[in-house]
Structure 1
Amino acid sequence: MTETTADSLLDAALMHVPFDGWSEATFRAAIRDTETERAVARGLFPRGAVDLAVAYHKRGDALMRDRIAAADLSEMRFRDKVAFAVRARIEAVDDREAVRRGTTLFALPMHAAEGARLIWGTADAIWTALGDSSEDINWYTKRASLSGVYSATVLYWLGDDSLGNEATWDFLDRRIEDVMQIEKVKASMQDNRLFGTLMAGPSKLFDLVRAPGQGMHDDLPGQSGAR
């Protein structure tokens, strides 16, 4: 019942977001449209429209994971799997204006950290869905790189009026290629004997960095509760 009520409130809010943004006015309108008791609505979304915007983002992540799970990616190159996942996440959104308004909301100083956690959570969801098993510093660098690719692609998509968003998918391919080139440079530097000697000390420190354990707080970046 609670989940249905939460979904109903979110669906109702989306009808008002293009006009009022993720605002208190939208939250009140969703309560009115669904005839939900205010105390119940506040219990589900204590911060009102901010929590509705968070729920909308997490809904997109869930839809993306479902699409990845249903797809046969076995014949794809890994970079193509990543592109497919990012595209699946963007295509999971059925309201561009809701995303635009969300981008504006999470750009505000008081909500910027929340927005960063959501983007990190999306990157983590993608890597996890694709079977990433890294446990060292690469766990963090992979998600940091993908967070940059995803956020840049979303911003490009918001202004894209090309047929079938082809310009966005081309932009995505270029961003992934940029990341692949960086990885190639890193690999070549690691193979360089002089560089390896210079980085011997820092490398030992990096080896101590571990991916978050299962028992860590779930409000940290990359944990399921942060999505």
Structure 2
Amino acid sequence: MQSDDTPIPTQDEIKARLLDAALIHVAFDGWTEATFRAAAQDAGIEPAMALALCPRGAVDLAIAYHKRGDLAMVERMKISDMTGMRYRDKVAQAVRFRLEAATDKEAVRRGVTLFALPQHAADGAKLIWGTADAIWTALGDTSEDGNWYSKRATLSAVYSSTVLYWLGDDSPEHAATWAFLDRRIDDVMRIESFKAQARRNPLLMPFMIGPDWLAKQIKAPKERDQDLPGSLQPRA
């Protein structure tokens, strides 16, 4: 008897097959139970195995689709030469890479609808935060205090508003979306510029002492507690 040398697929590989099969149905049925069942059947995956990999069915597949886009964005950032670019332009480029990684706009549209539901809103917020975190991490962010949170919160707002604009954009090569993105980042940069000026202004400086002190007390989560929202450090 000859041994079967065919490699056994990993769980990640099986889940990827399931996701690929699902994308064919998402445009018609959304991220629904019907899509999940059809994907399992098309991919030749037993329903029990599919549920073991995705206990929440299509919701878990929608999450996997978003994270796949994040990974594609990061990989593209690694091979792109951003030498000499302003930091705000690097951020804008990363957001653009992320949107271009979404090869199926309808799948994104259906995902936005799914994560707008109250029962899935927390998942959606976590995914957007994860995208912002992936961008800042890839850009080499070294902040360890409250700035770690403020950077990600601000970029989350920029990213989510840009996604909504992109979904309705039919301009050639999404030129209107990239212009919208630049305006949003310019707005953020103006706020940061005002804060920097306020710290140097003797009249406004007293009003910045409290917020600055608080920001320095908040620490970014450590590697071992990435799911935690951070912590206030005890006073020395």
Regarding TM over 0.5, the answer is yes
**Equivalent residues in 2 for 1:2-151 (5 A)?**
2-151=11-160
| SS in structure 1 of the partner of residue 19 of structure 2 | helix
Question: Mean alpha-carbon deviation: is it higher for 71-80 or for 55-64?
Answer: 71-80
Match of 1:219 in 2: 227
Residue 221 and residue 163 in structure 1: after superposition, are their counterparts in 2 closer, same or farther (change >3 A)?
A: farther
Under a length normalisation based on structure 1, what TM-score does the superposition of the two structures give?
Answer: 0.94
Match of 2:190 in 1: 181
| SS in structure 2 of the partner of residue 16 of structure 1 | helix
Match of 1:153 in 2: 162
Asked if 1 retains the 8 angstrom alpha-carbon contact of 2:144 and 2:220, the reply is yes
Q: Which amino acid aligns with 1:140?
A: Y
Residue 220 and residue 158 in structure 1: after superposition, are their counterparts in 2 closer, same or farther (change >3 A)?
A: farther
Q: Deviations over 1:63-107 (max 9, x none)?
A: 000000010111211111011100000000110000000000000
| SS in structure 2 of the partner of residue 8 of structure 1 | helix
Shift of the alpha carbon at 1:192?
Answer: 1.6
Residue 33 and residue 156 in structure 1: after superposition, are their counterparts in 2 closer, same or farther (change >3 A)?
A: same
Unaligned runs of 5+ in 1: 223-227
Match of 1:225 in 2: none
Asked if 2 retains the 8 angstrom alpha-carbon contact of 1:9 and 1:30, the reply is yes
Q: What is the number of residues matched between the two proteins?
A: 221
Q: Deviations over 1:111-158 (max 9, x none)?
A: 001100000000000000011101111111110110011001100000
- Which one has a bigger Cα radius of gyration? 2
Distance 2:39 2:228 in 1: 30
Question: Mean alpha-carbon deviation: is it higher for 194-203 or for 175-184?
Answer: 194-203
Under a length normalisation based on structure 2, what TM-score does the superposition of the two structures give?
Answer: 0.91
Asked if 2 retains the 8 angstrom alpha-carbon contact of 1:117 and 1:221, the reply is no
| Matched-pair identity in % | 63
Please, what is the CA RMSD of the aligned residues?
1.3
Residue 16 and residue 220 in structure 1: after superposition, are their counterparts in 2 closer, same or farther (change >3 A)?
A: farther
**Equivalent residues in 2 for 1:182-197 (5 A)?**
182-197=191-206
Distance 2:124 2:94 in 1: 20
